[in-house]
Amino acid sequence: MSLAIDVHDLVKRYGKRTVVDHVSLGIEQGRICGFLGPNGSGKTTTLRMICGLLTPDGGGGTCLGHDLVRERDAIKRRAGYMTQRFGLYEDLTIRENLEFVARVYGLDRRKERVEQSLERLGLTTRQNQLAGALSGGWKQRLALAACVLHEPRLLLLDEPTAGVDPKARRAFWDEIHAYAAEGITVLVSTHYMDEAERCHEIAYIAYGELMARGSAADIIRQSGLSAFIARGPGADRLAPRLRDADGVTAAAAFGATLHVCGPDHDALVRAIEPFRHDENLDWKEAEPTLEDVFIHLMGRARDNALDG
């Protein structure tokens, strides 16, 4: 299987600040890779380097077999990049936007392609509405449609579902899976855990450094984290008291339930010991969640960054 994205040691600096620090990424064709990490961790910068919008300060590689720096134009023609902010023209109609994109890529059978795209979107009846009049969810679906109009082999999506309601998000992800089934590779950045779980694999980046790689299950297993759940009246109120305890990475209330996790099983047990005798509470060992792992990784990355 050939790699759709194969980049090594990508580095990007702004002044003295290193935004992306030796990130290597290989993604097989037809896979959906979720790109996760805290705000400002370098996700957007990495995506921009892969699609040729930014020149890496170090490292390199290929995207769809084209060199990242030298063959920018070839990459641009064969990849689709969806910006974080709605990148189409709000003062053009839905149809005009799609026609513009079709012209920019010099596509043949323009009318036909635009019709097909409108149909697939289900926007045929609204094609003459201004794009600015669409709701957030529809805007994102339109942006995605515009992004795939030139039949790219790779999709780079930068937080495509931020601020979109769950139903529209689900529809969006169904479409992403449909494209993947057609053999298109997708690299999608997101903050949503449920979306991360819908990816074939995940790459986690923090402070410009790639921290974890693999499927959701792999990442949880490799993390070595332990977790406990406490149920019962007042369980959720323990979160602030446990948060700073030794051996606890994260303690969070989910409704009335408390969820704690830590890297060392014994240390975690010791930390919750004082509260285990409360007979109102029902303590149970649990699977750490992806979120636990990410919060843990983020803490470790920060330590690394501070040490460096």
Chain-centroid distance, C-alpha 89: 25
Return the number of the residue (105 or 263) whose C-beta is nearest another protein: 105
Which of 34, 38, 42, 52 binds another protein (CB under 8 A)? It is: 52
Which one-letter amino acid corresponds to residue 85? R
* Distance between CA atoms of residues 1 and 31, nearest Å: 11
Q: What tokens does 268 get?
A: 């975690």
Minimum CB–partner distance for residue 76 and another protein (Å): 5
Return the number of the residue (106 or 255) whose C-beta is nearest another protein: 106
User: Any contact of residue 144 with another protein (CB under 8 A)?
Assistant: no
Return the number of the residue (91 or 307) whose C-beta is nearest another protein: 91
How many C-beta neighbours within 10 Å does residue 110 have?
16
DSSP state of 2: -
Minimum CB–partner distance for residue 134 and another protein (Å): 15
Return the number of the residue (139 or 198) whose C-beta is nearest another protein: 139
Q: What tokens does 117 get?
A: 């795209």
Minimum CB–partner distance for residue 248 and another protein (Å): 40
Give the total of residues touching another protein (CB under 8 A): 21
Minimum CB–partner distance for residue 245 and another protein (Å): 40
Which of 23, 25, 36, 51 binds another protein (CB under 8 A)? It is: 51
Percent composition of the chain: helix, strand, coil (DSSP 3-state, to 5): 40, 30, 30
Minimum CB–partner distance for residue 47 and another protein (Å): 10
Which one-letter amino acid corresponds to residue 60? G
Q: What tokens does 227 get?
A: 């977790």
Cα distances from 16 to residues 20, 97, 129, 229, in angstroms, run 12, 39, 46, 43
User: Any contact of residue 48 with another protein (CB under 8 A)?
Assistant: yes
* Listed ranges 20-28, 45-53, 110-118, 209-217: which one lies at the site for another protein (CB under 8 A): 45-53
Return the number of the residue (87 or 136) whose C-beta is nearest another protein: 87
Q: For residue 101, what is the enclosing H or E element?
A: helix 94-104
Residues between 76 and 135 that touch another protein (CB under 8 A): 76-77, 81, 83, 85-90, 101, 104-106
Minimum CB–partner distance for residue 32 and another protein (Å): 20
* Distance between CA atoms of residues 299 and 175, nearest Å: 34
Minimum CB–partner distance for residue 80 and another protein (Å): 8
Q: How many CA atoms lie within 13 A of 173 on its CB side?
A: 22
Cα distances from 134 to residues 125, 183, 197, in angstroms, run 13, 30, 28
Return the number of the residue (163 or 166) whose C-beta is nearest another protein: 163
Catalog residues that contact another protein under the rule CB under 8 A: 48, 51-55, 73, 76-77, 81, 83, 85-90, 101, 104-106
